[in-house]
Structure 1
């Protein structure tokens, strides 16, 4: 087993281990074939397992090709697949991922429930569709134009409580975002799971599939280890009156300095002596999260991701703010003061305090100043005062503790 295969198999197993014993279909092609465990049938001569252990279309001419494998259905279940189309999909170049196909040896496009990837026009969206007696209809339509050009994505469909829920990560990772829901019920039965490709000769080797799963619902349990300053307090609107162009409400902004999604569930925001529990909060890679009073959500969501709290109040003159993770570790903390504005007029209200460089958070006043955004602040976006520079700490005071130790 080469290094790539080993790493790929380990990642796949980490995700699947919670439900592996009861899994119905799971194939990442790390065994280098599609002839057993599970067995795929159909136009197998038009497919191959490539050097990256992905299922790849491998034809030389235009045409249609499909492959299927047996799938026992459950009352409630989950499907997942990774898909890459290395071209702009269209009516003549598109793919289907069949969640549940009826047996039919007469066509490559049998009746059943499937994900459609590609369509005529320029608004290509991922769609959950049903085909019955050859007639198709859309049950869920995802984000318009999200797959209008070459793309890779990971799709998840969850069937639960007689409803289908579509989730997609458009980077190909595991940060699934909801795309829609619909009512759906299926009788437990044996159907087929599979793929279908329609292609011109120029795209006859540009369809890729991987990490198939169909079975009981999976529960992702692996969370990144969060370190201090992975999330930082990045902007403070303590005195929103008189407003410039922003809502006349107090807010804080957090910034994720990492390149991964972070789960802030059960984290605590300490504002002075007040504890605020963050339940179900998340923050995107290198993304922003605005915190404020729940009643003001409608006004702030236009600026970006917002998390509302039942009560929220900041002191104009300044106070300590701490962000503490679910383990009780401090991730970010500051004690802001009104002198940090460095501008008497802006200190009177309507302007936020912004961090100059979120990657250099230990400098206190030296790394904060009044916003230069003519709206009065920059919630949900890069701070208007951002500069990519680093200041070395200065020694302000030092004293001798004894003959061999100094306190700085």
Structure 2
């Protein structure tokens, strides 16, 4: 561009002199202006006329030319005297415009007046490079049919390219006669004006010229306006411009107030304008003021020109085409046609998006969009072809074949370019409605803030439009809802000895998330590569350069990883993880069960990892029994979910319900299941299965396991007493009535294991069976020297009266415990006082032992 402007500036002296007035009164043609060509074959004679003076050779062609860029809104005038009889070999051509200095060249583009030729006329011609000249005004024949032909010629060309040729054969300029008019706009630029003479040998000195005049009294006219890019205009004027005014940015205004940052004269009459912002889609207005042509003609009034701008359509990039509304469950109808649909939105400010070939898919099927375009900010609803007419009243409708059926409860929807590159992905769920009644059907899901496309549930809600949705229109829930929160790590799971899966709380900038330099693991484990998991970009897999070790806790540090909206945590993100170990029976056990919830409540099952391993619950199952058969198997989770040693997990279909009924519950321990197997109030069996269907734990319960003195068992869970004990009825007790259940934290009836140093040990020796969660029962702990003993335990009061036969002929393991809840044989509560536990122990070989232990039943007075 600099070189072009330099060339124009170098030509400026020529432009200043381009309005020609030449009568040769200075006696030469070498200056003011300067003529070039066959200079040695012309002279200025004593009458101060330009005269041919070439060699006396038949067929000679001579020329002289001088710079002139006048081309439109111009009057050319000159005097000529041909002292010869004109013919096909004796005539002159006066070039009004030419793009070449050498007027004898065959490659000229321009216009000329021919005096002479076989018809002895004065006519106007157009010359196209490499072609024979074309007559555009045929002058009257015989006007110069003598041997001394004088003619004053005047040619005008209007700003609308209307030509008129006039001649005065008296030469005085007082008697012009029109030879005709024509309209021709073929050539709009000129560089030279000049004369060409052709003669036979006798006429070498018989061509005389004088009074050359080129006058332009019209200001420049804008011929053409062209958009080159979204911020660039080309203005083409009908004639050359003065560079100083043409390159002044203040002389141009876009849409009332916007000035260009560049105003460049790329050639004599062409201006390139560059703006710092994009043109508006649709109508734009440009105003041009203060320009002048090379002859000082200034625009009397600003030129006002409107132009329509529609950029060429392009395929949408990532998040440039959005899914902003989803009607997944159309029944029962609220007000819209009974049809599933999605809504598209062009989220760009200045791009026309081309949809042809874009692939739209759900979890099971894919279709492609037809040849349609979306303007910036435009909405369109997508429906089957058969439904287009039913939705046309709402706005732009796009009909497609093989419309993917939308799942009522949710699924992953994607739009991809024809080459497979991701445009947008939405993993909607019926929880996004945030309204129980509306998710039953007839209402659409709407995006709240279309400038925050990466957000999930936080940026979607059920439509509030009375029709049930707003297809092809701005959403009824539209509001500002920016994402100002940086991402966090939700969890980290070692899915293999050399692979760690990170799950983030929101979508990431996938480029930054793929940088190895942004991660580290302590104790030091090298990271060899990163895989950012599409299409949602919330998960990252770290490929390790060395294997992890089981039962080793690692710390992962992540830094400089922004979310999709650019939010970045000010501090590095940190999380611990470990490599899961293979489980065996009894590693993860049933710790608590609520099978008889309050009215409108739901069941839950709590598991606990009582091993020293990290155990992944992915693909574990929860079941019940039908007779002796395990049945009603339900998946606990298909995702990675690692239980650390001592960690609880609460399995339920409705975490919100559990939290509302038990406010102290630990929400972070909840794991939602689609549904639990049936666990009847009277009795049932809870079965936990490992991924290979091996039994992890099993518990058969009845409602009679509850503390008999409870006024209301509904809403009270059964809790495990000892973590290391067996999963049997003796090891479970009703939760304390102060909490009713302890989902996600230590059981209210939990008791540390007591190892008896002697054969039997009572703990605690004083207890109060009042269901307050504090020493509600006592345990008779035993430790024998071998297995195979059988025990009887009978409870007597202080007067020696039998109160309860607690154990009868019970086969003992090497160690364990029995529990007394303070109830008599008839189910009534024992009185406050001292009681004797009479224990009989029988061996397989006839051994017998007797033991007496004291215990106190306490209570409130």
Q: Which has the higher contact order (CA 8 A, sep 6+)?
A: 1
TM-score (norm 1): 0.49
| TM-score for the superposition, normalised by structure 2 | 0.24
